[in-house]
Homo-oligomer: A and B are copies of this chain.
Amino acid sequence: MAVLIECVPNFSEGRNKEIIEAIVDEVRKVKGVKLLDYSSDEDHNRTVVTYIGDTDSIKIATYNLIKKASELIDMSIHKGGHPRMGATDVIPFIPISDITMDECVAVAKEVGKKIGDELDIPVYLYEEAATADYRKNLADVRRGQYEGFFDKIKRPEWKPDFGPDVMNVKSGATAISARVPLVAFNVNLGTNELAIADKIARTVRFAGGGLRFVKAMGVMLEERDIVQVSMNLVNYEKTAIYRAYEMIKMEAMRYGVSVIGTEVIGLLPMKALIDCAEYYLQIENFSIDQVLEKRIVE
């Protein structure tokens, strides 16, 4: 299969349809990139766009989107419920197929540098692309938001990685990085006692001494009158779906409760499921290149 990178930029406009469409159009225009989804939140006044493509195409589409956002969005008059520091607020690149995290970090840096140089926007690298530990967490980078950045940017420890050392009044500042894909995986239990789902969630999640890359909480599904352990698997390669699933099944047993089904919410990479088939079927020496769809038409 060809190289496939996913990009999920968030930009600070969730109300004006004309502006939103004009920005999303920049993705539609680039051959080699496919728009998967975009959704706007009026309260947050923010839009999240999802697209995939090869390395070169995704760089072009992302730069064009950011450029268009810098032309059409004026951060000096932006109001919205979600924390934000720029017109294009945050840009994560996600390795999907035939590409490493390091290569996605390189893409983030290249696009970040171009935004800084050509659009005069201060750029911060975070998470996998961060240049220092204290810059890894997006919440730390963004703290103070657009309004606070006019001062924050002057502090030496918050000197931008690329672009000018002063705020761009119209476009604000932008955070760019690479991260692994999230898998949203929920496990439904044969009980309506929320306390049981809560207890299991606490056991399985990282915060409670459970699996490193699992975030989990108990949720009541009123309509079906059952409870659910709702999870975000933030690194499915290191904490595989089947491991979280089997652990929940095991924990549920102590309450005499069984797993009655599970759900995958939204998209996930093929490998996240194929890893599970490999485990359960005990497949030796399997290579993802044995999957026909990996041999995609060029």
A53 at the interface (CB under 8 A from B): yes
A59 to chain B, nearest CB (A): 14
A77 lies within 8 A of chain B by Cβ: no
Number of copies: 2
| Chain B: CB-nearest residue to A293 | B270
Task: Check A16 for interface membership: any CB of B closer than 8 A.
Answer: no
Which of A53, A276, A278 has the most chain B CB within a 10 Å cutoff? A276
Chain B CB within 8 A of A97 CB: yes
With A285-B263, A297-B34: A292-B280 Cβ-Cβ less than 8 Å: no
Residues A270 and B292 in contact, CB atoms below 8 Å apart: yes
Q: Which of A1-9, A84-92, A166-174, A212-220 contacts B (4 or more CB under 8 A)?
A: A1-9
Decide if A284 touches B268 in the complex (CB within 8 Å): no
**A258-295: which have CB < 8 Å to B?**
259-264, 266-270, 273-274, 276-278, 280-286, 290-295
A284 to B241, CA, bound (A): 15
Q: Which of B4, B263, B276, B286 contacts A293 (CB 8 A)?
A: B4
A57 at the interface (CB under 8 A from B): yes
Complex partner residue of A270 from B34, B188, B259, B274, CB under 8 angstroms:
B274
Tell yes or no: A54 within 8 A of B by CB.
yes
Closest to A286 in B: B264
In the complex, what distance in Å separates the CA atom of A245 from the CA atom of B296? 29
Are A97 and B293 in touch, CB under 8 angstroms? yes
Partner of A292, one of B188, B241, B267: B267
State whether the Cβ of A121 lies closer than 8 Å to any Cβ in chain B.
no
Residues in chain B near residue A32, CB distance under 8 A: 297
In chain A between 65 and 87, which residues have their CB closer than 8 angstroms to a CB of chain B? none
Contact A297 B52 (CB under 8 A): yes
The yes or no answer to A22 lying at the interface (CB within 8 A) is no
Kindly list chain B residues whose C-beta atoms are within 8 Å of the C-beta of A293: 1, 4, 96-97, 269-270, 293-294
> A130 in the interface, Cβ–Cβ < 8 Å?
no
Q: Within the assembled complex, what's the spacing in Å between the Cα atoms of A118 and B107?
A: 51
Is A247 part of the contact surface with B, judged by Cβ < 8 Å? no
A63 at interface by CB-CB < 8 Å: no
Cβ of A33 within 8 Å of any chain B Cβ, yes or no, is yes
Decide if A290 touches B268 in the complex (CB within 8 Å). yes
Q: Least Cβ distance of A204 to chain B in Å?
A: 15
Complex Cα distance, B277 from A57, in Å, reads 32
A sample of 23 cross-chain residue pairs with beta-carbon separation below 8 angstroms, ordered by A number, consists of: A2-B297, A4-B297, A6-B292, A36-B295, A52-B292, A97-B292, A245-B281, A261-B283, A261-B284, A262-B282, A262-B284, A263-B283, A263-B284, A263-B285, A266-B290, A267-B291, A267-B292, A267-B295, A268-B290, A268-B291, A270-B291, A280-B280, A296-B296
Nearest 6 pairs of A and B residues by beta carbon: A273-B277, A276-B277, A280-B280, A261-B284, A270-B293, A277-B277
